[in-house]
């Protein structure tokens, strides 16, 4: 297999998810960065590989793979160890549901594209930030209730799963908008546990070469 190339942006939580997954799998990759605030994701050369103009895209073996959860599950299928999804069907559906709360319901409502649209519609920055905080707090409150009581140190037991891969980038976004995650002690504890792992540390936005 050739070395994959990850098209991303340091502060993109979707790119952050894929960086974590690649690191956990021990897959070395090259970075190509697209500055989202400068609109580089809309360049014709990038739209040719990702028609949505979103990051990430994983270019690998002649394939252009898009959508972070789909990429993570692809990585799990081509390199099963360590597994990102439990073998048990019930546990697997719970992990996927938790991940999708973040990737499908929280993140899309507070991402850059939506916030720029709110600004274009005349909302001031304080209102925009308040909207993002509300979306994140509402979603994380639901996530806290979906966690297995008493399990740990990760979202669903003693192994990192797709749920953790989605949660940690979302918490970085939460802090950026001033959300206090200490109100969900189990979530805060999971973050602490994940950030002791090298795969998560190397994936953090501030540790990317395009960080500002």
Domain check: are 97 and 194 in the same one?
yes
Range of the domain at 178: 89-200
Domain check: are 196 and 94 in the same one?
yes
- Closest residue by Cα to residue 204 from 26, 167, 34, 195: 195
Query: Where a domain ends, among 52, 82, 112?
Result: 82
Answer whether residue 130 is part of any domain: yes
- Which CATH number belongs to the domain containing residue 51 in this structure? 3.40.30.10
Domain check: are 192 and 124 in the same one?
yes
Give the separation between CA 97 and CA 100, rounded to whole angstroms. Answer: 5
Kindly list the distances between the CA atom of residue 54 and the CA atoms of 44, 48, 167, 201, in Å, as whole numbers in the listed order: 12, 12, 20, 24
Query: Where a domain ends, among 82, 109, 129?
Result: 82
pLDDT, residue 149, reads 73
Query: What is the spatial order of strands in the sheet that 63-66 belongs to?
Result: 30-33, 5-8, 57-60, 63-66
Answer whether residue 205 is part of any domain: no
What angle, 0 to 180 degrees and rounded to 10, lies between the N-to-C axes of helices 162-176 and 68-78?
150
pLDDT, residue 1, reads 65
146-195 pLDDT per residue, tens: 997 767 899 999 999 999 999 999 999 999 999 999 999 999 999 999 99
Average pLDDT over residues 14-37: 97
Average pLDDT over residues 186-212: 97
- What global pTM score does this model have? 0.96
32-54 pLDDT per residue, tens: 999 999 999 999 999 999 999 99
User: How far from the centroid of its chain's Cα atoms is residue 203's Cα?
Assistant: 10
Classified as helix, coil or strand, 202 is: helix
Classified as helix, coil or strand, 142 is: helix
Average pLDDT over residues 23-35: 98
pLDDT, residue 100, reads 98
Answer whether residue 169 is part of any domain: yes
Any bridge partners for residue 32, and if so which? 7
pLDDT, residue 152, reads 85
Mean pLDDT over each residue of the chain, to the nearest integer: 96
Answer whether residue 134 is part of any domain: yes
Query: Which segment of 17-21, 23-27, 144-148 scores lowest on mean pLDDT?
Result: 144-148
pLDDT, residue 151, reads 74
The count of structural domains within the chain is 2
Answer whether residue 207 is part of any domain: no
72-113 pLDDT per residue, tens: 999 999 999 999 999 999 999 999 999 999 999 999 999 998
- Which CATH number belongs to the domain containing residue 196 in this structure? 1.20.1050.10
Answer whether residue 208 is part of any domain: no
């Amino acid at each position: 297999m050739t070395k994959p190339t990850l098209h991303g942006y340091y502060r993109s939580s979707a790119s952050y998810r894929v960086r974590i997954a690649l690191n956990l799998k021990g897959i070395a990759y090259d970075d190509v960065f697209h500055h989202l605030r400068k609109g580089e994701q809309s360049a014709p050369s990038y739209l040719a590989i990702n028609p949505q103009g979103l990051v990430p895209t994983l270019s690998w073996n002649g394939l252009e793979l898009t959508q972070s959860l789909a990429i993570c599950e692809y990585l799990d299928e081509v390199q099963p160890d360590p597994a990102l999804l439990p073998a048990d069907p019930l546990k697997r559906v719970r992990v996927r549901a938790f991940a999708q709360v973040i990737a499908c319901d929280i993140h899309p409502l507070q991402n850059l594209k939506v916030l720029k649209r709110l600004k274009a519609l005349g909302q001031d920055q304080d209102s925009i930030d308040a909207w993002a905080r509300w979306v994140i707090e509402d979603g994380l409150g639901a996530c806290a209730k979906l966690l297995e009581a008493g399990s740990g140190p990760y979202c669903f037991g003693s192994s990192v799963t797709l749920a953790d891969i989605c949660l940690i980038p979302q918490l970085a976004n939460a802090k950026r908008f001033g959300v206090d995650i200490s109100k969900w002690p189990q979530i805060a504890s999971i973050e602490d546990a994940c950030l002791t792992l090298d795969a998560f540390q190397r994936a953090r936005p501030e540790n990317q070469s395009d960080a500002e």
